[in-house]
C-alpha cells in the first residue's frame, strides 16, 4: 500500500473515492461496521470481527454472502505484507434505496473497506488514564443491543461534550441510569474478586476485545468474570476500572471526572488491569509470530 496518511478505499472490492448518495447507510445509518487493528502486518482479532459482522448482518437482515465478503476484503489482504500498522474499517450497508424507510428494493448490499495507515500500533497505553461522566444517555433498544450499527449519533453527541485532550474517554449510562460503556470502549471493574462488565442486552456494543477478555484472557489468569447490571455507585465501589477496545487494547483508568471536569472518583489501583495488558500483548505477539 502507498505510504500516505490518506486512507485507501474500496467499494465491493474495487478502488473507489466516492459513494452513491442513494446508499441507505448514508441516508439512515442502515448498516453495520467493524474496525480492525493491523499489527505488524497481522490481524490478530480478524476472526472475531468477521464473526460479529456476519451475526449483525443476519440479525438486521442485510445480505452478506461469504463470496461478497471475500471479494470486498481481498484487495486489502493482498497487500498486508507491505504494511506494518494501521486500521482497517469495513462498512456493510443495505445498499442503494429510494426515498423512505421501507428497505424493499434495496436488495444489493454494499461493502466499503478503508485502510488507514499508522506509524505504530495504537494499543495498551500503560499509564492510567482519565475519563469523564457524560451527560448524554443511551436509549434502550434490545434489537440493536450488542451490534456495531451505523447509527452512532448518541456517541457523537457524547464525544462532543469535551475537548480536553487529557480526558481519554467518556462513560455512558443508559436512560435508566445503568452504566453501559464508554463512547468507543467497553469497560470492566474489579469488585469482590471478580471482573464485572455491563450486560449489554438493552443497548451498547459487544466489542471483540471484550469478548476476547471474557472468553480467554481473563479466565486464563485464574480470575472470575461476569456480566452484570452496573450503576454509578458500583463504579465508586470498584477497586480497579479499565476500558478496552480492539484498537487501543486495555487501558487502566486512574481518575474519573464529572461532566464539569471536577474529580468524581480516583481509582486506588491498576495492577490487575496492567496484568491483563501484558496478557493481551502476549496474545498479539503470538498472532504476529
CA distance 120 to 86: 7
Q: What is the pLDDT of residues 13-51, one digit of tens each?
A: 999 877 889 999 999 999 999 999 988 888 999 999 999
How many Å separate Cα 91 from the centre of its chain?
13
CA distance 217 to 28: 37
Which of 6-10, 163-167, 181-185, 254-258 has the lowest average pLDDT?
A: 6-10
The answer, yes or no, to whether residue 183 has pLDDT greater than 60, is yes
Which of 107-111, 180-184, 192-196 has the lowest average pLDDT?
A: 107-111
Classified as helix, coil or strand, 15 is: strand
181 is catalytic: yes
Percent of the chain with pLDDT over 70: 96
- Among 34, 35, 197, 248, the one annotated catalytic: 35
CA distance 284 to 46: 12
Average pLDDT, the chain: 92
CA distance 178 to 235: 11
Q: Residue 1: what pLDDT?
A: 45
35 is catalytic: yes
- Among 34, 169, 178, 181, the one annotated catalytic: 181
Q: In what order do the strands lie in the sheet with 14-15?
A: 14-15, 8-11, 110-118, 85-93, 31-39
Residue of 62, 121, 110 whose CA lies nearest to 288: 121
The answer, yes or no, to whether residue 122 has pLDDT greater than 90, is no
Q: What is the pLDDT of residues 231-270, one digit of tens each?
A: 999 999 999 999 999 999 999 999 999 999 999 999 988 8
Task: List the grid coordinates of 22.
Answer: 442513494
Which of 113-127, 211-225, 227-241, 246-260 has the lowest average pLDDT?
A: 113-127
Architecture of domain 129-288: Alpha-Beta Barrel (3.20)
The burial of 97, by beta-carbon neighbours within 10 Å (0-12 exposed, 13-18 middle, 19 or more buried), is given as buried
The answer, yes or no, to whether residue 120 has pLDDT greater than 70, is no
Helices vs. strands in the chain: H and E counts, helices first: 8, 15
Architecture of domain 8-118: 2-Layer Sandwich (3.30)
Kindly list the domain boundaries of the chain, sorted by start residue.
8-118, 129-288
* Buried/exposed 105-135: b ≥16 CB within 10 Å, e otherwise: ebeebbbbbbbebbeebebbeeebbbbbbbe
pTM of the entire predicted model: 0.92
* Structure letter (DSSP) for residue 185: -
Q: What is the CA radius of gyration of the chain?
A: 19
- Among 148, 169, 178, 197, the one annotated catalytic: 148
59 is catalytic: no
Amino acid at each position: 500500500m502507498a505510504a500516505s496518511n490518506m486512507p485507501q478505499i474500496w467499494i465491493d472490492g474495487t478502488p473507489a473515492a466516492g459513494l452513491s448518495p442513494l446508499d441507505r447507510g448514508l441516508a439512515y445509518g442502515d448498516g453495520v461496521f467493524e474496525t480492525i487493528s493491523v499489527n505488524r502486518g497481522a490481524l490478530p482479532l480478524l476472526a472475531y470481527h468477521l464473526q460479529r459482522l456476519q451475526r449483525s448482518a443476519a440479525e438486521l437482515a442485510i445480505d452478506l454472502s461469504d463470496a461478497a465478503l471475500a471479494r470486498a476484503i481481498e484487495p486489502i489482504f493482498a497487500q498486508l505484507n507491505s504494511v506494518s500498522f494501521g486500521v482497517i474499517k469495513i462498512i456493510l450497508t443495505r445498499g442503494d434505496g429510494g426515498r423512505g424507510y421501507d428497505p424493499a428494493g434495496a436488495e444489493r448490499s454494499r461493502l466499503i473497506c478503508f485502510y488507514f495507515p499508522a506509524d505504530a500500533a495504537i494499543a495498551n497505553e500503560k499509564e492510567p488514564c482519565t475519563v469523564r461522566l457524560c451527560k448524554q444517555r443511551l436509549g434502550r433498544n434490545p434489537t440493536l443491543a450488542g451490534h456495531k450499527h451505523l447509527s452512532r449519533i448518541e456517541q457523537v453527541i457524547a464525544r462532543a461534550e469535551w475537548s480536553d485532550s487529557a480526558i481519554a474517554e467518556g462513560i455512558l449510562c443508559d436512560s435508566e441510569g445503568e452504566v453501559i460503556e464508554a463512547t468507543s470502549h467497553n469497560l470492566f471493574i474489579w469488585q469482590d474478586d471478580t471482573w464485572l462488565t455491563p450486560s449489554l442486552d438493552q443497548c451498547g456494543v459487544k466489542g471483540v476485545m471484550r469478548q476476547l477478555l471474557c472468553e480467554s484472557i481473563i479466565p486464563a489468569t485464574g480470575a472470575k468474570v461476569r456480566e452484570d447490571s452496573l450503576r454509578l455507585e458500583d463504579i465508586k465501589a470498584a477497586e480497579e476500572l479499565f476500558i478496552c477496545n480492539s484498537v487501543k487494547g486495555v487501558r487502566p483508568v486512574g481518575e474519573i471526572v464529572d461532566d464539569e471536569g471536577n474529580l468524581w472518583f480516583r481509582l486506588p489501583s491498576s495492577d490487575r488491569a496492567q496484568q491483563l495488558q501484558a496478557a493481551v500483548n502476549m496474545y498479539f505477539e503470538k498472532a504476529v509470530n
